[in-house]
Amino acid sequence: MSYDFEIAIIGSGPGGQRAAVQAAKLGKKVLLIEADEIGGNCLHLGTVPSKTLREAVLDKSSRNNLASVMKRKSDVISAEAMVVTEQIRRNNIRVVYGRASFVDTHSINVKLKDDSEAIFSAGKFVIATGTRPRRPSEIDFNHPHVFDSDSILEISEIPKTMCIMGAGVVGCEYVSIFAEMGCQVTLVDKRNQLLQGVDREVVDRLTAYMKDKGVKFILGPDAIDPATLQFVCKEEGKVCLRFQEKDYEFDALLYCMGRTGNVESLNLSSIGIQPTSRGLIEVNEHFQTKQEHIYAVGDIIGHPALAASAFAQGRIAAAHAFGLTDQKFPKIFPYGIYTIPEISSVGAEEAELIQAKVPFITGYARYSELARGKIVGDEYGLLKLIFHEETKKLLGAHVIGTSASELIHIAQVAMWFEADVQHLLDFIFNYPTLAEAYKVASLNAYNKFPS
């Protein structure tokens, strides 16, 4: 059967971009459908702008000048959008702007921006529509001082006080940003700890840093009761909230508790696909949905919900769609959390090794022990390596501090090639560098192994 396109991709974020380019590189006729702007939420509302804000506030000359910070954010977004747009143009990918809705398993209706409609058919599809911040009914998002992680990017002034609800990755990143700008931040979450699933020693260091920046914490199962959330009238310019039977008043509230998949307009029921309660799409190891010719990638499929993983998923899905079945999503890949200080990890954590009864040895290197650590003035930095006690192979690495998300790739490569503690001891690292932490941590672990 003949189709208008060999493959249609819905969404131009990281997953959609890579799927479209990969298919084009294979010589396929590609349609890319984007509801808003090329680059998707990652470029315009998520990863790129929030990380740009982080870098801007680390620059002491601009951290208290919000206009300067926001201009830098806009400049970076514009420059990156040009790069992505040019890449798509160069690969002869047809772009249509509008909202897509499945008509049947091989046809899609697109409501264009001028309210007209067009129907396209394709042999294969990739859904890469991403997610959006969850907005529960008990939170008054019409209040001028109440934000989610999208709307906060347009804030016009630095509030003196702010409540951030949500101690996950997004919440903790914004705690860091606003605390660094001199805002008095209170972090609230029904969980007892920040960043569930992250190495506890690393989280403890982050918590200590936040406390030094004046961050206050309200944590625990009884921290948030939706029935007691209260908002004063908009004219007063304050947000009044009640936590643990105590009233608080803030200049702003940022709600960062969960995200929801962008699936409502897709009419998935017409093609036999049922999203989860969070609006996510279930896929197999090849990123195929229940309809084998329809794939889904990126945040819309849930964990790990990283821009980096979405890039890989999009490429692999498009390759698989056209018979390149040897490409697999890697078991070893890093996580980056752009708090201040930043956090990154790869591989196993202590808790899961203990549960699995795997014997291990840990090695530590504190930035304060490194010449480079002293040069950059990082007192909180730490590299933690975990080795198998018997094979001595590297099982995991966890970093907090300057350049953590860059340093972690050394451990990633080492684990990929099944390096052991002796390999890391034999490496020669430039001096003075933070990478030298690998030698220090490996020596620390080596001395703990049974003789």
d(CA 155, CA 151): 7
Is pLDDT of 151 > 60?
A: yes
d(CA 294, CA 19): 12
Please answer whether residues 386 and 392 qualify as being in contact, where contact means their C-beta atoms are separated by less than 8 angstroms: no
Of the chain, the percentage scoring pLDDT greater than 70 comes to 97
d(CA 385, CA 438): 8
Q: Which helix (H) or strand (E) holds 71?
A: helix 66-90
Please answer whether residues 363 and 438 qualify as being in contact, where contact means their C-beta atoms are separated by less than 8 angstroms: no
Q: Which of 181, 151, 162 is nearest to 57 (CA)?
A: 181
Q: Quick one: tokens of 80? A: 């990156």
DSSP state at residue 288: B
Is pLDDT of 445 > 70?
A: yes
d(CA 308, CA 15): 9
Tell me the pLDDT band of 140, cut-offs 50, 70 and 90.
Answer: confident
Tell me the pLDDT band of 363, cut-offs 50, 70 and 90.
Answer: very high
Q: What's the number of domains the chain is made of? A: 3
pLDDT of residue 56: 87
- The answer to which of 47-56, 199-208, 306-315, 380-389 has the lowest mean pLDDT is 47-56
Both 75 and 155 in a single domain? no
Question: What is each CA distance from 20 to 40, 94, 274, 311, 451, in whole angstroms?
Answer: 14, 10, 25, 11, 54
d(CA 303, CA 290): 18
Sheet holding 394-400, edge to edge: 335-337, 343-347, 394-400, 382-388, 360-366
Q: Quick one: tokens of 181? A: 């700008």
Both 127 and 274 in a single domain? yes
* Type of residue at 380: Y
DSSP lists the bridge partners of residue 120 as 108
Residue 332 lies in a domain: no
d(CA 164, CA 185): 7
Q: Which of 219, 130, 166, 169 is nearest to 344 (CA)?
A: 169
Both 128 and 265 in a single domain? yes
Both 267 and 222 in a single domain? no
pLDDT tens-place string over residues 81-109: 999 999 999 999 999 999 999 999 999 99
Q: Which domain holds residue 27?
A: 5-133+259-321
Last residue of a domain, one of 255, 279, 299: 255
Phi, psi of 362 (to 5 degrees): -110, 145
Question: What is each CA distance from 223 to 107, 191, 241, 291, in whole angstroms?
Answer: 48, 8, 11, 43
pLDDT of residue 233: 52
d(CA 297, CA 127): 6
Q: What is the CB neighbour count within 10 angstroms for residue 210? A: 21
Both 249 and 390 in a single domain? no
pLDDT of residue 237: 77
> 416: domain CATH number?
3.30.390.30
Last residue of a domain, one of 204, 220, 255: 255
pLDDT of residue 321: 97
Residue 330 lies in a domain: no
Both 9 and 129 in a single domain? yes
Residue 333 lies in a domain: no
Q: Which of 294, 333, 291 is nearest to 312 (CA)?
A: 333
DSSP lists the bridge partners of residue 108 as 102, 120
- The answer to which of 153-157, 163-167, 260-264, 382-386 has the lowest mean pLDDT is 153-157
Both 360 and 248 in a single domain? no
Both 212 and 248 in a single domain? yes
Both 244 and 273 in a single domain? no
Residue 81 lies in a domain: yes
pLDDT of residue 244: 77
- Going by C-beta distance under 8 Å and a sequence separation of 6 or more, which residues neighbour residue 128? 9, 10, 11, 12, 13, 14, 15, 16, 19, 40, 296, 297, 298, 300, 310, 314
Q: What SS3 class is residue 313? A: helix
Q: Quick one: tokens of 245? A: 């039977």
Residue 139 lies in a domain: no
> 228: domain CATH number?
3.50.50.60
pLDDT of residue 240: 85
pLDDT of residue 4: 97
pLDDT of residue 62: 67
Angle, vertex CA 383, rays to CA 381 and CA 384, nearest 5: 135
Q: Taking every pair of C-alpha atoms in the chain, what is the biggest distance, in angstroms? A: 75
Is pLDDT of 259 > 80?
A: yes
Alpha helices, DSSP H only, in 298-379?
A: 307-321, 350-355, 371-376
Is pLDDT of 349 > 80?
A: yes
Both 43 and 114 in a single domain? yes
Strand-strand pairing, 30-34 and 94-104: parallel
DSSP lists the bridge partners of residue 343 as 337, 400
DSSP lists the bridge partners of residue 294 as 125
Both 435 and 352 in a single domain? yes
Residue 141 lies in a domain: no
Is pLDDT of 227 > 60?
A: no
Is pLDDT of 174 > 80?
A: yes
Please answer whether residues 108 and 116 qualify as being in contact, where contact means their C-beta atoms are separated by less than 8 angstroms: no
Q: Model's pTM, two decimal places?
A: 0.93
DSSP state at residue 393: B
Helix axes 47-58, 66-90, angle to 10 degrees: 140
pLDDT of residue 356: 96
- Going by C-beta distance under 8 Å and a sequence separation of 6 or more, which residues neighbour residue 142? none
Is pLDDT of 295 > 90?
A: yes
d(CA 177, CA 50): 9
Is pLDDT of 156 > 90?
A: no
Is pLDDT of 69 > 90?
A: no
Residue 438 lies in a domain: yes
pLDDT of residue 61: 65
Both 14 and 127 in a single domain? yes
Residue 336 lies in a domain: no
Upstream peptide bond of 304 is cis (omega within 30 degrees of 0):
yes
Is pLDDT of 232 > 90?
A: no
pLDDT of residue 1: 76
